[in-house]
Amino acid sequence: MAKQPKQNKTAAGTDVNHVKQQNQQAAQGKSQYGAEFAQQTDPQHVQQQNQKSQAKKK
């Protein structure tokens, strides 16, 4: 692989600075995705769905 000049995007088009920022936020526990997912997830509902799924397997 030939060296490419330093760019802000990878060959796939990913913004390197954005990824670094996301990684820093995740390391600090401030990940936007994780917070949004946690707020939208109802643990009791998930447990009920899991129980139904297990019952169907038997």
Residue 9 lies in a domain: no
Phi then psi dihedrals of residue 50, to 5 deg: -65, -40
Arithmetic mean of pLDDT, 16-39 = 72
pLDDT band at 47 (very low <50, low <70, confident <90, very high): very high
Position 36 in a domain = yes
**Any domain includes 48:** yes
Mean pLDDT within 25-48 = 71
Question: What's the structural domain count of the chain?
Answer: 1
Please check whether residue 28 lies inside any domain of the structure: yes
The partner residues of 41 in beta bridges, in order of sequence, read none
Angle subtended at Cα 33 by Cα 7 and Cα 49, rounded to the nearest 5 degrees:
140
- Mean pLDDT across 48-52: 93
Residue 11 counted as domain residue: no
- Please say if the pLDDT value at position 1 is more than 60: no
Per the CB < 8 A criterion, the answer to whether 7 and 14 are in contact is: no
Q: Which amino acid is at 18?
A: H
Q: Quick one: pLDDT band at residue 4, thresholds 50, 70, 90?
A: low
